[in-house]
Amino acid sequence: MSDAYTPSQIADEHEALLQFLYLCPHGMAQFDRSGTILMLNPAFTCLVMPLVGPDIPTFNIVELLEPWLPELRSLLQDPRPRGMICDGTPIYPGSAAPGHDPSVLALTVVRMDADRHMAVLADVTKSVAFKRGVHDN
């Protein structure tokens, strides 16, 4: 009995992976050592657009996030060949509409190998507001 996948099974697995990437509520982006974004999912674009507007000015994650996370460039200089670069580092995009808490994003970056990194961007606004409410009471 062969363990090889049939073309139909490969197509089904590919479709399942695409659904996973499109439905994931967190932004995911793969980028190279210079910061050039190689792949991203739609949630990443949605989370970044409020920072920079609908016309994303660059496809370099370091340049894109530099106004809010200037230390990212130096964090990426970490010499380890793989592993966690930052874990849930907060990004505070700015003011919010009256009556709303300002949004807070969290960035996690993992070095996959010498030239590939994975960034996960999450909207943690509700979590931060909840923690503030708990601490205020």
Would residue 105 count as lying in a domain?
yes
Query: Tens digits of per-residue pLDDT, 112-133?
Result: 998 999 999 999 987 776 666 6
Would residue 6 count as lying in a domain?
no
Would residue 8 count as lying in a domain?
no
Which residue reads 């530099």 in tokens? 66
Domains: count for the chain: 1
User: Which residue stretches of 24-123 are H helix?
Assistant: 42-52, 61-65, 72-75
pLDDT band at 61 (very low <50, low <70, confident <90, very high): very high
For position 95, which CATH number holds?
3.30.450.20
At 48, list the tokens.
């970044």
Domain residues for the domain of 121 are 26-136
pTM of the model: 0.76
Would residue 57 count as lying in a domain?
yes
Query: Tens digits of per-residue pLDDT, 24-59?
Result: 788 999 999 999 999 999 899 888 888 887 777 778
d(CA 61, CA 63) in angstroms, rounded, equals 6
H or E element at residue 83: strand 83-91
Q: What angle do CA 113, 12, 119 make, to 5 degrees?
A: 30
- Strand pairing report for 27-31 and 116-123: antiparallel
At 1, list the tokens.
């009995």
Which residue reads 């370099």 in tokens? 60
**How much is the pLDDT for 50?**
80
